[in-house]
Amino acid sequence: MLEACSLNKSFGALQVTRNVTFTVPAGARYGIVGPNGSGKTTLFNLLTGETRADSGRVVLDGQDITGFSPDRRARLGLTRSFQKNNLFGNLTAWENLAIALTIRNDVGREFWTRFPSPAGLNDQIVGLAERLGLTAVLHRPAGTLPYGTQRQLELGLALAIVPKVLLLDEPTAGMSPDETHAMTALIASLPRETTLVIIEHDMAVLHEIAERMIVLDYGSILIEGAPQEVRRSEIVRERYFGARSR
């Protein structure tokens, strides 16, 4: 469903992505880990088109999307969340979801006209809110919501597009243990129609969700394998966890 083919990116003399190549099958759950500065978020930016690769290709469901803009990639089914909340803070949760659903329904291209209201829009919003546990806050400004609830809403914006591939960048960062548990359960419940790639520092979260893991080290793939294989790897223990096997 998603292929990264020899992706390279440098910022000046600093090479942050080095020949990164991997393939994610349809419906799979992949985790990406690595220390700060290993190139994880840059990799997501290359996949979504927010940063242009110096070389290499990105393929979505068999289609080469390397030259496509971020919004075109999103319309084709590649969506993401961010490390920091990226919401319309002055708009209500309902309005945030309405914007995302309008994009999905492809009725947001007309300018200088009344905001369109496609048939069933409110039902779609209510249904998505129920799924995300947001029903009680739909009419509150997004910027006033608790941090964990804002993270749930941002996930809702990505899911509103009905993505083929969903990229989640540190979805539980800054959350309390209870919020982390709730978000992990929510992500784990996503249907297999959505292929999932998640960056996460909390290894307990990844072990709940990921079936396969990629470890990045200085912009390169250090190892790819099942979570148990990665956990047993001596080179991972040395380079990522900072410990030697005994």
Task: Classify residue 30 by burial, with Cβ atoms within 10 Å: 0-12, 13-18, 19+.
Answer: buried
Which CATH number describes the domain made up of 2-89+161-239? 3.40.50.300
- Residue 221's SS3 state is strand
Give pLDDT, residue 99: 86
pLDDT tens-digit series, residues 17-58: 999 999 999 999 999 998 888 999 999 999 999 999 999 999
Q: Which residue has the higher pLDDT, 84 or 186?
A: 186
Query: Among the ranges 57-66, 72-81, 93-102, 185-194, which has the highest mean pLDDT value?
Result: 57-66
Q: How many residues does the chain have?
A: 246
Give pLDDT, residue 246: 42
pLDDT at 105 over 70: no
pLDDT tens-digit series, residues 194-215: 999 999 988 889 989 999 999 9
Phi, psi angles (nearest 5°) of residue 176: -70, 165
Q: Rounded mean pLDDT of 80-103?
A: 85
Give pLDDT, residue 20: 98
Q: Which residue has the higher pLDDT, 200 or 239?
A: 200
Q: Rounded mean pLDDT of 84-97?
A: 87
Tell me if the pTM is above 0.75. Answer: yes
Sequence-distant (6+) residues with CB within 8 A of 180 are: 172, 202, 205
Cα distance between the two ends of the chain: 39
pLDDT tens-digit series, residues 67-84: 999 989 988 999 998 766
pLDDT at 219 over 90: yes
pLDDT tens-digit series, residues 109-164: 555 556 555 557 888 899 999 988 899 999 999 999 998 899 899 999 888 888 99
CA 151/CA 190 separation, integer angstroms? 16
Give pLDDT, residue 37: 86
